[in-house]
Amino acid sequence: MFPKLDKYWQHPSLYWPLLILFAAATPFTFAPYYHFWLMPLIFGAFVRLIELRPRFAVSSAYLFALTAYSTQFYWIHTALHDISGLPNLYAVPLTFLLPAYLALYPALCFWLWKKFTLPRSIKTGLALPVLWTLTEFAREHLLTGFGWGALGYSQIVSDSPLAGFASLGGIHMVTLATAFLGTWLVLASDGSIPPRKRLFPIILIAILITVGYTAQQTDFTRPDGSTRTVALLQGNVVQTLKWREDQVIPTIQKYYEQVGKTTADIVIMPETAIPVMRQNLPENILAQFAEQAQNNGSALAVGISQYTSDGSGYENAVINLTGYQENNPNGIPYYAKNHLVPFGEYKPLPFLTTPLYKMMDMPLSDFRKGGDNQPTLQMKDQKVAFNICYEDGFGDELITTAKDSTLLANISNMAWYGKSNAMYQQLQQSQARAMELGRYMVRATNTGATAIISPKGNIIAQAQPDTETILEGHIKGYTGETPYMKAGSSWPLIGILTLITLILFIFRNKKS
């Protein structure tokens, strides 16, 4: 296959357009399209292109990643310009700033890859997937981290056998498996090498798919016997109106009426559903919400901002109004967001970024962290492990609380990104967390994607985006731990991959 194509692919007039074309196709591998099968093919084609022109490996990797991340995260412009009102003079270059930074990691991967002089089967079939996974891991952790667009997320769909690796080792193991599949397809389909040598990667592909499929069919966690109805409120409050003073009362009234319309056991409102600091609310508002829920037999969780206990800052929180006592407003159990969004919830390098914030309509851009390992919130007989919006992209940070939970819950406000794919990409991350942690995940969002997700990552029910609605459904409480949870984080996997890299580096000058 390859000899005929290679002759054309390596020509500059085709090489660079193909590189950009393959990268621009990557958004279709993620939600809402879910063409999971496309990612290993794209990654394999990308690797083969670089093999043809190894001199340009680093620049090719950077261009590929810059194009891929720009097309995947185009919604940054929506948040900056359409919602926050930042002029295009600043919004356009800032839209490309994050992809330009993220692209450094694939470039680093191939810079390291070029340092190895090993047989192709090892250099491409082993070293490259390992290095790619290590740099993806670094991308998720350095400078607060941003793991969106990782190869592994493309496989978080029930039809992909590689999704099974999520419960074994988390999203980074899925990324590793996807990279392996892409590079092994390159080796298996190369007609320039003898059939005997192509047989080995074919066997490896079969083993990879079998292991993933088997893990996908294995129940590592189990129902605890409890079943509850849930109601997830979607207020569909336009972001540009959300914090306007004249919209506060209509917004509170809207959610109050929604709470009154459901008799579900557990009712959850989205992130910052009530656009007022908790301590600034009239004393009777929370009491009325609690009473309404209690009259309907519901446990109620509300997304709201609140001042820190010392009054020096504020937090993005979800409060549990179950058993609310009006004479003890400070005794409300709550979870406060710990992993904050840079530029959105706090200002990195404030001496540089503060002038930009003055041009934008972005209230509450200096939150405080809630702290690690916060306890679950008891709602009916469910121990609910909450996370808020952006935190859903960091599986390692959810493990400790999830071990003590029977149900996972995410509250979000994706109205910042309009009708873009951002809400669906985040939904797919929630699917990954459900698979990794072996529990139901429920998502209450302002505009979408509000959904109920099974422990296998399947979307059981989903609300129509950009509508005011209540999504109701059933969940089961789950207990037990997946292998990923027992490992405690992705660090054991990363440690093994680092050891493999060091061993390969020691023998890097061994030629075939």
pLDDT for the residue numbered 351:
47
- Res. 242: pLDDT tops 90: no
Residue 147 lies in a domain: yes
Tell me if residue 509 falls in helix, strand or coil: coil
Q: Return the higher-pLDDT residue of 505 and 267.
A: 267
Can you give the CATH number for the domain in which 368 is found?
Answer: 3.60.110.10
Residue 110 lies in a domain: yes
Say if residues 286 and 324 touch (Cβ distance below 8 Å): yes
Q: Which of 145, 154, 188, 161 is nearest to 47 (CA)?
A: 188
- Band of the pLDDT at 350, cuts 50, 70, 90? low
Residue 512 lies in a domain: no
Residues serving a catalytic function are 271, 337, 389
Q: What are φ and ψ of residue 245, in 5° steps?
A: -60, -35
Residue 386 lies in a domain: yes
Tell me if residue 172 falls in helix, strand or coil: helix
Report the chain's terminal Cα–Cα distance, integer Å.
23
Q: Are residues 379 and 351 in the same domain?
A: yes
Q: Are residues 204 and 234 in the same domain?
A: no
Neighbours of 381 (CB within 10 A): 16
Kindly report the average pLDDT of the chain as a whole number.
91
Q: Are residues 192 and 256 in the same domain?
A: no
- Res. 9: pLDDT tops 90: no
- H helices of 142-224, in order, are 165-169, 171-188, 195-217
- Res. 34: pLDDT tops 80: yes
Say if residues 479 and 406 touch (Cβ distance below 8 Å): yes
- Res. 165: pLDDT tops 90: yes
Q: Are residues 68 and 205 in the same domain?
A: yes
Q: Return the higher-pLDDT residue of 140 and 371.
A: 140
Q: Are residues 206 and 254 in the same domain?
A: no
Q: Which of 76, 71, 149 is nearest to 106 (CA)?
A: 149
Q: What is the tens place of the pLDDT at every residue in 277-332?
A: 998 998 789 999 999 999 999 999 999 999 988 877 889 999 999 988 877 777 89
- Res. 425: pLDDT tops 90: yes
H-helix or E-strand spanning residue 71: helix 57-72
Tell me if residue 136 falls in helix, strand or coil: helix
Q: Are residues 197 and 242 in the same domain?
A: no
Q: Are residues 229 and 97 in the same domain?
A: no
- Res. 507: pLDDT tops 90: no
Q: What is the tens place of the pLDDT at every residue in 64-95?
A: 999 999 999 999 898 888 887 888 888 898 88
> Residue for token digits 């029910």?
461
Q: Are residues 148 and 255 in the same domain?
A: no
Q: What is the tens place of the pLDDT at every residue in 440-453?
A: 999 999 998 999 99
Q: Are residues 373 and 502 in the same domain?
A: no
Those residues with Cβ within 8 angstroms of residue 105's Cβ, 6 or more apart along the chain or in another chain? 65, 135, 136, 138, 139
- DSSP states of 239-256: HHHHT-GGGHHHHHHHHH
Residue 140 belongs to domain spanning: 3-219+490-507
Q: How far is it, in rounded angstroms, from Cα 341 to Cα 165? A: 28
Residue 325 lies in a domain: yes
- Band of the pLDDT at 355, cuts 50, 70, 90? low
Q: Return the higher-pLDDT residue of 346 and 50.
A: 50
Residue 461 lies in a domain: yes
Q: Are residues 176 and 257 in the same domain?
A: no
> pTM for the complete prediction?
0.93
Q: Are residues 105 and 244 in the same domain?
A: no
Q: What is the tens place of the pLDDT at every residue in 389-419?
A: 989 999 999 999 999 999 999 999 998 898 9
Ranges 89-98, 116-125, 189-198, 337-346: which has the least confidence: 337-346
Domain count, the chain: 2
Q: Are residues 233 and 360 in the same domain?
A: yes
- DSSP states of 14-26: HHHHHHHHHHHTG
Q: Which of 229, 298, 237 is nearest to 272 (CA)?
A: 237
